[in-house]
Structure 1
């Protein structure tokens, strides 16, 4: 029996073109072909794609390019359209002379990155409270500009509220105007003393390492075996794991094989992890909480990035305007951690030759 000929209507063709344009935009963004992605998001929006979705894609592109002001214009357009978004809290009203509550509902790394804005906000507001996950409360209490720290489900009176990732938008920051007071995290004397009982002073250079992160993006992580050639090539370096105990099984096997002893920490809180990071001469890490902690503490930190790195690390840069003591090592091609680590090995050789006393920041 002959099947009927299916003919698409003009509307169906239009929908197909719209979806194809949006798919092309997302694909180009995933490949970090940013200029092509911007054109494709514009085309998709003109064909009727969700304007907020297209603006969000362009926002990501602009941030990758370091064009913060264009990103903020996309944020303006999204806010003016008023589509409900649980990640958007600030309604655009001024905060001068008001009681402000900062809510932190994103990841720990995001919170650490944007707590730097508290002193600037406090200079405008009459009171600044921050609501964070319980694990972050102790660390947040040491940040200048914060009058009150709450944990989730605790509330306080406020006139204005923001999600913590909205702070750069509030201040219309650019790569050249980011808050520059470092360190903006503090490690108390008691925390430092406790860390030194586990990581005692040493005449050897100490490097803290992190190779695996949260499960939400496993492509940021790498097997310890891939990092192992670096660890074994520098016997003059005392490498320490800054991973949580649950992630240290392979590390303990390596320590036993190399007779290193127990070079691992057991941080019961993020504040404790910060205290251990502060004891390192250098932190070598994937894109992780440890990277933000070390950067906020103004410790030298080298970050291993996948090729399609997050917006905050921009494109092709080996430095970061967010953290002046940070150096970025990117995969030369997708999945090529060995290539990134080869660059780390070369840089570490040079860094060791030029290393200075621990009280200074080694040249990056």
Structure 2
């Protein structure tokens, strides 16, 4: 639909190139298609041609955030909110970028104000955004409660009741949502859930449960079959009342042993993620690693890889677990591979974007993690070049 909208709005702009409103519509459609560079140009033109409205500025601010220009995004969204102070959508956008640049108190206050005055989707979005701050700070009792607002945002519908965490012998289905990295991170909570109910695992990474030594495998039933209730894997901390700081001990185990010179590398995540441009590393930046002697680099992602890296079969999450298990060190952006390394207890060097996700903030979810971040305020590509040079230097010292 967004692609069709781009085509239609482009026709309008071709007929009326000085029409700021037409340009604003085209820019918003381009943003929806992740065409960020053109969207930035078109939205800037819209502002210059009479459409410097709160709506246009909100779109432009989100584009600037996707492109990694967080300071510009903050200024743009502040202007948008000044034009329309009661707009919950714009306030949520501004709060998100405030989180990214570390102004957490301001962001939390903004989200709290939205929750107080709004209802419906924007209030749920503000609760979810606030949860990101709370969980990153280890304020779990409040954080997990607000984190459940994502169920409304995702419009979760089920034919069976939502499990409330109560004990019994009637089976509960555990389902997945969001990315595979989320599933791997939250696998740890299956151990406690299985103590309370027999479980039927109905999520993509369910096969990894076989690799959990602390999980009572007798409580894991076949995926198909009747259940009394259902729960998302990501809702387990909330329904189980898991308010304590998580253990950093590994919870997955494979028979493969680390090979001293084997270094696993993952430089990109799902390209459909709106802010993947800030998360993933341009492949040419990896050349800095190539100069390090005495190691073997293994690509821990599918698709095209540099010819100086080994490729391995990665058809399933279990395949990935076994390949990660053979690595003495994993160098990865914030994606499934990073969580797999942590869950297996392998050393992880995380290539973390500016701002970063709540999982890598004040609370340690895994035991052996070193973070490398781009310098603040630089262009995305230049930032990753600096990061990979730093990683290469650190790796040379390690070997």
Q: TM-score normalized by structure 1?
A: 0.73
Q: Tell me, yes or no, if structure 1 residue 60 matches structure 2 residue 132.
A: yes
Which residue number corresponds to residue 234 of structure 2? 165
Deviation at 1:122, TM superposition (A): 1.6
Aligned counterpart, 1:359 = none
1:25 to 95, 98, 103: 95
Q: Deviations for 1:214-261, whole angstroms, at most 9, x for unmatched residues? A: 1123221112211211231x21122222221x232xx12xx2xxxxxx
Pick closer, same or farther for the CA change 1:22–1:299 going to 2, 3 Å.
Answer: closer
- Secondary structure of the residue aligned to 2:311 is coil
248, 264, 267: which one aligns with 1:208: 264
Inter-CA distance 73–213: structure 2 relative to 1 (3 Å threshold) = closer
Q: Secondary structure at the match of 2:196?
A: coil
Shift of 1:23: 4.2
Which aligned pairs between 1:115-154 and structure 2 lie closer than 5 A?
Answer: 115-125=187-197, 127-133=198-204, 136-143=205-212, 144-146=215-217, 147-148=219-220
- 2:51 maps to none
Query: 1:95 Cα deviation (Å)?
Result: 2.4
Aligned match of 2:331 in 281, 284, 287? Answer: 284
> What is the alpha-carbon distance in structure 2 between the residues aligned to residue 23 and residue 286 of structure 1?
24
Structure 2 unaligned residues grouped into runs of 5+: 1-80
User: Residue in 2 aligned with 1:331?
Assistant: 374
Q: In 1, Cα distance between the equivalents of 2:240 and 2:157?
A: 18
* Structure 1 residue 295: Cα displacement: 1.1
Residues 212-361 of structure 1 mapped to structure 2, 5 A cutoff? 212-217=268-273, 218-219=276-277, 220-232=279-291, 234-244=292-302, 246-248=303-305, 251-252=306-307, 255=308, 263-314=310-361, 321-333=364-376, 335=380, 336-352=383-399
Contact 1:137 1:149 in 2 (8 A): no
Task: Give me the TM-score of the superposition, normalised by structure 2.
Answer: 0.67
Contact 1:187–1:271 (8 Å) recurs in 2: no
Q: Is the 8 A contact 1:110 1:165 kept in 2?
A: yes
Cα distance in 1 between the residues matched to 2:97 and 2:315: 40
Given that 1:128 and 1:145 are in contact with CA atoms closer than 8 Å, whether structure 2 keeps it comes out as no
Match of 1:357 in 2: none
* Aligned-pair Cα RMSD in Å: 3.2
- In the TM superposition, residue 75 of structure 1 has moved relative to its aligned partner by 4.6
